[in-house]
Amino acid sequence: MPTQQGLLTRRQMLSRTAAAAGWLTLSSPFAPLFAGEGSRRFKIGACEWSLRKGDPIVFDLAKQIGLDGVQVDMGSVGNNMQLCRPEVQQTYLAAAKKAGVAISSLAIAEMNKIPLKSDPQAAQWLADSIAVMKALNVTIVLVAAFSKGDLKADPAGIDHTVEVLKQLAPKAEQAGVIFGLENYLTAGENLDILKRVGSPAVQVYYDVGNSTDKGYDIYQEIRLLKGKICEFHAKDAKSRLGHGRIDFRQVRAALDEINYRGWIQIEAPAPRGVLVDYREDLAYLREVFS
């Protein structure tokens, strides 16, 4: 029979069980963004297109700014979706490693011109993005739906998008990656899409600037989307962050309430130059999201 010192009390057993359960939750590819209050850290990056660099030199610029990472674009029709090519992937990986800056996530901005809601080519890009994410060691791809791809007041376009996502979501689940939907829809409309698709591999990529432009209550929307947001864009129309319409401290409060931990990508304008404006935006966000 073990000694008294060797016995676990009920309190200790519950504590260890809870700790193990928490570790298992965080180990899931579809729950990497949630953690206890003491371990939460927000990583701040910027979009490759916002930094005005469409090649691996973008990581050197990100390092000069002080960013944690860069959200990269998969490519365009003009460069034949360049990040689908292994040699381009290796160039990006090497540049990121040399600069000490992460590749934070992927995006397919070309879907704004060639929409997922109507063009089979865009559906093929989304399928291809699964392998690209695995090659770049990222778990999220931004699925853009603006301009020609806008889903607002387009039920037929939403229906087609849902069907494409239903077809591809099982492959994304198997790969442990997430399709992040960015659009002009309300939180409720996005939740309806997620419900119809029925997969943890399809979530919302939330842009506080876009939703503010549409007049949505972003602080309430963030709370409504608890557990469904994979990543954030930070911008506020033409304003510097913290100098416009959006109260980023309220955004922080909402993120704390939904237990979000993950990337926040700056996608703001830089009229005085990226180095100047993004350094200031980064300093502000680091203060708010410390």
Strand partners for 203: 180
Residue 276 maps to a domain: yes
Antiparallel, parallel or unpaired: β 202-207 and 140-144 = unpaired
In a domain, 17, yes or no: no
Q: CB-hemisphere CA count at 13 Å for 129?
A: 33
Cβ-in-10-Å burial (0-12, 13-18, 19+) of 17 comes to: exposed
Q: How far apart are CA 237 and CA 260, in angstroms?
A: 24
Q: Is residue 150 part of a domain?
A: yes
Inside any domain, residue 232? yes
Does the pTM of the predicted model rise above 0.85? yes
Specify whether the CB–CB gap between 235 and 278 falls below 8 A: no
Write down the pLDDT at residue 41.
Answer: 77
Residue 19 lies in a domain: no
Domain with 72, as residue range(s), is 43-288
Nearest Cα neighbor of 253 from 220, 214, 213 is: 220
Element at 194 (helix H, strand E) = helix 187-197
For 226, the token pair is 């608890």
Establish if 12 belongs to a structural domain. Answer: no
Classified as helix, coil or strand, 70 is strand
CB 221 within 8 A of CB 211: yes
Q: Please report, in tens digits, the pLDDT of each residue of the chain (290 residues total).
A: 333 333 334 344 334 334 333 333 333 556 544 433 444 479 999 999 999 887 899 999 999 999 999 999 999 999 999 999 999 999 999 999 999 999 999 999 999 999 999 999 999 999 999 999 999 999 999 999 999 999 999 999 999 999 999 999 999 999 999 999 999 999 999 999 999 999 999 999 999 999 999 999 999 999 999 999 999 999 999 999 999 999 999 999 999 999 999 999 999 999 999 999 999 999 999 999 98
CATH of residue 90: 3.20.20.150
In a domain, 176, yes or no: yes
44 near 286, Cβ under 8 Å? Answer: yes
Tokens of 49: 């297109």
Residue 52: the pLDDT is 87
Q: How far apart are CA 12 and CA 176, in angstroms?
A: 33
Domains of the chain: total: 1
Start-to-end C-alpha separation, the chain: 50
184 phi/psi in degrees, rounded to 5: -100, 15
Residue 9 lies in a domain: no
- Asked whether the CA dihedral 55, 59, 64, 66 is positive or negative, the reply is positive
Which of 76, 129, 140, 130 minimizes the C-alpha distance to 102? Answer: 140
Residue 22 CB-density burial (10 A; 0-12 exposed, 13-18 middle, 19+ buried)? middle
